[in-house]
Amino acid sequence: MKKFSIGVLGAGTWGMALARMLTVSGNDVQVWSAIEAEVDNLSTTRVHPNLPGMVIPQELRFTKSIEEVCTGKDVLLFAVPSVFVRSTAAKARPYIRSGQIIVDVAKGIEPDTLYTMTEILADELSHENGPRAVRLVALSGPTHAEEVALDLPTTIVSASPDLEAAEVVQEVFSNTCMRVYTNTDIKGVELSGAMKNVIALGVGISTGLGYGDNARAALITRGIAEIARLGVAMGCNVQTFAGLAGIGDLIVTATSMHSRNNRAGILIGKGESPEQAVKEVGMVVEGINALPAAMELAEKYHVEMPIAQTVNAIVKEGMSASDALRNLMSRDRKSEMPQGYESV
Ligand SMILES: NC(=O)c1ccc[n+]([C@@H]2O[C@H](COP(=O)([O-])OP(=O)(O)OC[C@H]3O[C@@H](n4cnc5c(N)ncnc54)[C@H](O)[C@@H]3O)[C@@H](O)[C@H]2O)c1
């Protein structure tokens, strides 16, 4: 199998779990972080503080230079949290060359522009001194870093309208523990990845309130229905939402204690403020970051998203979780969904 030269931007849990996996598969991998102390720490201890069971192979190289991590690589992996994708792309822009494959694994929607992560990359890299014709791919699915770090079986979707690029990424990331599927509906894949975090936050809140499996199943099922409804209004393929990057990712996020969105939701459901909950979880909670964009998209595309709106009322407007969920259950009945989904 052909081996690739890969630059990873971001040394959080996901960037490092993937960097280790790609190194073990025989690729030449270099990781950059915006935080210099993080590079020093990871390169000397060979352990990530949030992935304690994972050993970082000696062959995996680190750099503090964004120029070095971008130069001469077949593939660049953007693995910073969504709020840093634009600033990281702006720093990397002078060193990215035309034709390079750029993979994004961050999940989110930019407030104001309402861009997906690859749309931010396309926008930022198209500035005057930027490269021409980079090949953008979104890699998304039901994947917890904690499990990939231990080589547990995982599936993921390589999405791009440029199917050839998606297939190269499929080849790069495939191994006996990781099975990679392709999809040309990049927008549907990215929208799912961002919006499922909002629904998972709601599932966590429900659990924190002491509600049971019936409520969890309802929120997951009706949650994917409202994500699909938004996606279809935005021109995505409805089948994407029934796949790994859609319902698959929502299930893993809404049912696992590895998920920060689920964990933060549980704390909020138990009565902590959103600020306290984020502090306690201690890492980025993408579902909270995605809420403003979710509300703007629902309004722009005239789509009802009652679960997302309920989560927003709790997290952003300070409504009590129990009142908000009671309102959700007793809201007006009306036909909400196009064919194929149940009406209320
Ligand atoms: N963790 C997972 O299991 C997982 C799985 C799939 C997708 N994702 C997505 O990947 C993205 C990253 O997640 P994560 O779990 O690695 O997050 P994380 O909280 O572990 O990432 C923190 C890292 O972000 C980087 N960073 C911090 N400040 C920065 C700055 N100013 N500029 C640039 N980089 C900076 C640093 O390398 C830091 O270690 C998120 O969008 C997340 O939704 C995560």
Q: Whose CA is closest to atom 41 on ligand 1?
A: 106
- 13 C-beta closer than 6 A to ligand 1: yes
Q: Is the CB of 35 under 6 A from ligand 1?
A: yes
Number of folded domains that form the chain: 2
CA distance 173 to 25: 9
Give bridge partners of residue 78 from the DSSP assignment: 9, 104
Catalytic sites, residue numbers: 196
Q: What is the pLDDT of residues 220-259, one digit of tens each?
A: 999 999 999 999 999 999 999 999 999 999 999 999 988 9
For position 258, what pLDDT does the model report?
87
CATH number of the domain at 216, please. Answer: 1.10.1040.10
Same domain, 82 and 203: no
Name the residue of 14, 20, 69, 146 to mutate for ligand 1: max ligand atoms within 8 A of Cβ: 14
The structure tokens listed for 78 are: 């953007």
11 Cα: distance to centroid of ligand 1 (angstroms): 7
Instruction: State whether the beta carbon of 143 lies less than 6 angstroms from ligand 1.
Output: yes
Q: Is residue 290 part of a domain?
A: yes
On whether both 228 and 322 belong to a single domain, the answer is: yes
Residues 263, 230 share a domain: yes
Q: Is the dihedral of CA 6, 9, 12, 14 positive or negative?
A: negative
- Whether 343 maps to a domain, the answer reads no
Q: Is the CB of 144 under 6 A from ligand 1?
A: yes
Q: For residues 82-120, b (16+ Cβ closer than 10 Å) or e, as one string?
A: bebbbebbebbbebbeeebbbbbbbbbbbbeebbbbbbb
- Do 224 and 164 share a structural domain? no
Instruction: Tell me, yes or no, whether 115 lies in a domain.
Output: yes
**pLDDT value of position 332:** 83
Q: Give the pLDDT of residue 339.
A: 46
Protein residue closest via CA to atom 29 of ligand 1: 34
Q: Are residues 151 and 61 both part of a single domain?
A: yes
Structure tokens at 309: 């709106």
Judging by beta carbons within 10 Å of its beta carbon (0-12, 13-18, 19+), is residue 319 exposed, middle or buried?
A: middle
Residues 316 and 246 in one domain: yes
Strands 51-55 and 101-104: unpaired
CATH code, domain with 159 = 3.40.50.720
Residues making up the binding site for NADPH: 13-14, 107, 145, 260, 284, 286
| Whether residue 79 has its Cβ less than 6 Å from ligand 1 | yes
35 lies in the same domain as 163: yes
Atom of ligand 1 nearest to the CA of 146: 3
- Please indicate, yes or no, whether residues 112 and 235 belong to a single structural domain of this protein: no
Residue 275 lies in a domain: yes
Q: Identify the segments of the chain with pLDDT beneath 50.
A: 339-340, 344
Range of the domain at 205: 188-330
Instruction: Tell me, yes or no, whether 97 lies in a domain.
Output: yes
Burial (CB < 10 A; 0-12, 13-18, 19+), residue 24, is: middle
| Same domain (yes/no): 315, 178 | no
**342 belongs to a structural domain:** no
Same domain, 174 and 30: yes
- Per-residue pLDDT tens digits for 257-285: 889 999 999 999 999 999 999 999 987 89
Residues 164 and 201 in one domain: no
Q: Which amino acid is at 103?
A: V
Ligand 1 within 6 A of CB of 10: yes
184, 209, 226 — which closes off a domain?
Answer: 184
Between CA 327 and CA 334 the distance in angstroms is: 15
Expressed in angstroms and rounded, the spacing between residue 259 Cα and the centre of ligand 1 is 13
Residue nearest to atom 43 of ligand 1 (CA): 107
What pLDDT shows up at residue 257? 87
Among the candidates 154, 184, 214, a domain finishes at 184
How far apart CA 314 and CA 68 sit, in angstroms, is 44
- pLDDT score recorded for residue 343: 55
CA of 285 to the centre of ligand 1 (A): 10
pLDDT score for 334: 66
Residues with Cβ within 8 Å of 328's Cβ and at least 6 positions away in sequence, in order, are 306, 307, 310
